[in-house]
């Protein structure tokens, strides 16, 4: 019998090299589009207009960022988005935790019925028109609450949180009850501290969804002053109802150059509106992967 039959065999050097090449290629095709937009945004407007900038900027030109930094309308939309992201994320975490906790209790009567009652509307919704009528009847139309209240309750996140809570030993809850703890104490001091991975998953998903959302604002918020950043970006890039070249530039030569840089201004805005949500991920990375895996393995 071979003495080395039980030893762990490592892959060949060629196989490892192929894996590294594939990973580098995957990373390149993932990151290059954002890098390409960035180098276009800081290149000379004429060079950027020719679309011949590929791997490095040609001529540094930062006036586009200077214009955007002094654009009061963009910063107002940015502030609206931050408000929507923070408030919606807090409410989603609150509703997910408070709804998931009782669903994990074996003593809850009708637990299976309540779970099915939640799952059905997750797959079958009423549609846009009933939602619009509901928002209007509740007096939320054309207010900031039209984006916050409907988005604060997500059935999918409740199911994920319930699945994670189900993996916490029931003995912890029973021991806490013997010590005189009520449900609020058990939830806040036992379940929530042990559930950081799934809470990180829910948080990052909510932040990304709210940050990138624009359709709900288009339907429920005709008032431009309360619209989020993505609606402003849509008006600039898609509808083109906001001409960034009409910002304060006095000299004719400067105005002509600024018109050439209209697309470059759009690239700059894409970078400015994307970076905040990208920088958010590292704060949740510690628990994110673990939360995704646990949420997918436990049924």
pLDDT digits 0-9 by tens, 85-112: 999 999 999 998 988 888 887 777 777 7
**One domain, residues 97 and 48:** no
Q: State the pLDDT at residue 284.
A: 64
Q: State the pLDDT at residue 298.
A: 45
**One domain, residues 180 and 220:** yes
Is residue 1 assigned to a domain? no
Is residue 227 assigned to a domain? yes
**One domain, residues 129 and 237:** yes
Is residue 4 assigned to a domain? no
- Determine contact, residues 298/100, Cβ cutoff 8 Å: no
Q: Mean pLDDT for each 10-residue chunk of the chain (299 residues)? A: 53 77 85 81 73 76 74 84 91 90 79 80 79 88 89 87 83 80 83 84 86 86 86 70 51 48 70 75 63 48
Q: Chain-centre distance of CA 161, in angstroms?
A: 18
Residues 290, 196: Cα–Cα separation, whole Å: 10
Residue at which a domain ends, from 61, 78, 104:
61
Q: State the pLDDT at residue 15.
A: 76
Is residue 14 assigned to a domain? yes
3-state secondary structure of 223: coil
Which of 124, 149, 125, 123 shows the shortest CA–CA distance to 136? 149
Close Cβ partners of 134 (under 8 Å, ≥ 6 residues apart)? none
**One domain, residues 24 and 160:** no
Q: Measuring CA to CA, how many Å separate 3 from each of 6, 29, 32, 88, 212?
A: 7, 45, 49, 61, 58
Q: What is the span of the domain harbouring residue 34?
A: 9-61
Residues, the chain: 299
Is residue 280 assigned to a domain? yes
Q: Measuring CA to CA, how many Å separate 271 from each of 40, 41, 153, 161, 217?
A: 10, 8, 30, 33, 22
Which of 178, 179, 172, 215 shows the shortest CA–CA distance to 195? 172
**One domain, residues 18 and 80:** no
Tell me, what CATH number does 236's domain have?
Answer: 1.10.3720.10
Note the maximum CA span of the chain. Answer: 88
**One domain, residues 249 and 114:** yes
- What angle (nearest 5°) sits at the alpha carbon of residue 265, between those of residues 259 and 269? 160
Which of 195, 182, 25 shows the shortest CA–CA distance to 97? 195
- Half-sphere exposure of 228 toward its Cβ, with a 13 Å CA cutoff? 25
**One domain, residues 149 and 214:** yes
Residues 44, 257: Cα–Cα separation, whole Å: 10
Close Cβ partners of 47 (under 8 Å, ≥ 6 residues apart)? 53, 58, 59
**One domain, residues 175 and 291:** yes
Flag whether the pTM goes above 0.75: no
The position carrying tokens 């009423």 is 126
Domain count of the chain?
2
**One domain, residues 232 and 102:** yes
How much is the mean pLDDT over the chain?
77
Q: State the pLDDT at residue 296.
A: 47
**One domain, residues 114 and 238:** yes
- Determine contact, residues 218/231, Cβ cutoff 8 Å: yes
Q: State the pLDDT at residue 83.
A: 92
**One domain, residues 44 and 68:** no
Is residue 2 assigned to a domain? no
Q: What is the DSSP letter of 111?
A: H
Task: For residue 120, give both structure tokens.
Answer: 């059905």
Give the other-Cβ count within 10 Å of 80's Cβ: 21
């Amino acid at each position: 019998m071979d003495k080395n039959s039980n030893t762990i065999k490592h892959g060949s050097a060629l196989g490892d090299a192929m894996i590294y090449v594939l990973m580098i290629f995957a990373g390149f095709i993932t990151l290059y589009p954002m890098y390409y937009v960035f180098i276009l945004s800081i290149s000379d407007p004429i060079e950027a207009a020719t679309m011949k900038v590929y791997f490095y900027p040609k001529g540094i030109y930062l006036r586009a960022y200077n214009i955007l930094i002094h654009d009061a309308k963009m910063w107002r939309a940015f502030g609206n988005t931050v408000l929507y992201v923070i408030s919606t994320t807090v409410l989603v975490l609150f509703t997910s935790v408070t709804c998931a906790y009782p669903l994990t209790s074996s003593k809850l009567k009708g637990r299976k019925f309540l779970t099915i009652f939640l799952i059905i509307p997750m797959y079958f919704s009423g549609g846009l028109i009933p939602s619009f009528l509901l928002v209007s009847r509740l007096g939320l139309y054309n207010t900031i609450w039209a984006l916050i209240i409907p988005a604060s309750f997500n059935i999918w996140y409740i199911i994920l949180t319930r699945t994670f809570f189900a993996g916490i030993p029931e003995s912890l809850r029973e021991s806490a009850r013997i010590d005189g703890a009520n449900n609020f104490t058990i939830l806040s001091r036992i379940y929530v501290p042990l559930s950081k991975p799934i809470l990180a998953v829910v948080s990052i998903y909510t932040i990304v969804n709210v940050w990138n959302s624009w359709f709900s604002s288009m339907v429920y918020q005709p008032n431009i002053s309360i619209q989020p950043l993505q609606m402003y970006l849509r008006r600039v890039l898609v509808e083109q109802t906001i001409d960034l070249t009409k910002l304060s530039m006095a000299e004719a030569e400067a105005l002509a150059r600024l018109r050439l840089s209209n697309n470059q201004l759009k690239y700059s805005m894409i970078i400015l509106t994307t970076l905040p949500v990208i920088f958010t991920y590292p704060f949740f990375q510690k628990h994110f992967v673990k939360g995704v895996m646990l949420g997918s393995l436990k049924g």
